[in-house]
Amino acid sequence: MKGFLGLIKQATPASAGGDIPDTFFFSTAFADQGIDASSMVPWEARANEVGARRLAAGRGSKLLEELWSRDNFMARLGRDALQRLEKFLDFASLPANRDVIRQDEYGNFMLVLLSGSIAVDREQPWGERLHLTEARPGDILGEMSLLDSGPRFSVCTSLTDCEIAILGAQALDEMMATDPALAASLIALLARKLSRRMRVVSARLSEQQS
């Protein structure tokens, strides 16, 4: 959580009209940590690999607003902020049985599931795949790597045809520059949701190992 709190603290001055520090960019964070560009899996590459197709922005935006308006955390953004957020997102449809996120890879994007179902699993060192949860519409996937530039924690596989929203590092940088108040609010809410989810996952893993 310290890393997330640092992100929020750095974002706050910009929301008051200050400049974003030169070192605070999500799109270059992986390189700043010495991660080779060839190890990165951007959304464009993954979309091509899994056969994703562009989804009409109007449909994607409507689904996102409906889902997050009912979410205890994300509803705090408010309708105006959600509408401002949508211009930073890409929307796509995804076939069933595709690994949209793979464990231990480096990826600079996160997803919001808009329709369909995605399995979230953790591959164990001995080869077993532990089922952690099944993502539901409105759930966020992949935000941890986007925020802290670390490897993916789990593998996320579409169980059905899905519709998704995608937020990439470059778009998040643009949000920081053009709408810092929105970026700070989004980062704070993502960190809270992620912390809650990781506590649940930690408890699940502990149960499996006991």
What pTM, to 2 d.p., does this model score? 0.83
Report the pLDDT value the prediction gives residue 1, as an integer from 0 to 100.
Answer: 41
For 156-191, what is each residue's pLDDT tens digit? Answer: 999 999 999 999 999 999 999 999 999 999 999 998
With CA atoms as reference, report the closest residue to 93 among 53, 138, 139.
Answer: 53
Spatial distance between the Cα atoms of 37 and 171, rounded to a whole number of angstroms: 18
Instruction: Give a yes or no: residue 36 inside a domain.
Output: yes
Instruction: Give a yes or no: residue 89 inside a domain.
Output: yes
Instruction: Give a yes or no: residue 111 inside a domain.
Output: yes
Instruction: Give a yes or no: residue 7 inside a domain.
Output: no
Instruction: Give a yes or no: residue 39 inside a domain.
Output: yes
Spatial distance between the Cα atoms of 133 and 119, rounded to a whole number of angstroms: 6
Question: What's the pLDDT band for 5 if we cut at 50, 70, 90?
Answer: very low
Instruction: Give a yes or no: residue 5 inside a domain.
Output: no
Report the pLDDT value the prediction gives residue 194, as an integer from 0 to 100.
Answer: 81
Higher pLDDT, 35 or 94: 94
For 117-143, what is each residue's pLDDT tens digit? Answer: 999 999 888 888 889 899 999 999 999
Q: What is the CATH number of the domain that holds 39?
A: 2.60.120.10
Provide CB contacts within 8 A for 171, sequence distance 6+.
88, 89, 90
Domain that holds residue 157: 24-205
Residue 14 pLDDT exceeds 80: no
For residues 66-94, give the mean pLDDT: 93
Number of domains observed in the structure of the chain: 1
Residue 109 pLDDT exceeds 80: yes
Instruction: Give a yes or no: residue 138 inside a domain.
Output: yes
Question: What's the pLDDT band for 19 if we cut at 50, 70, 90?
Answer: low
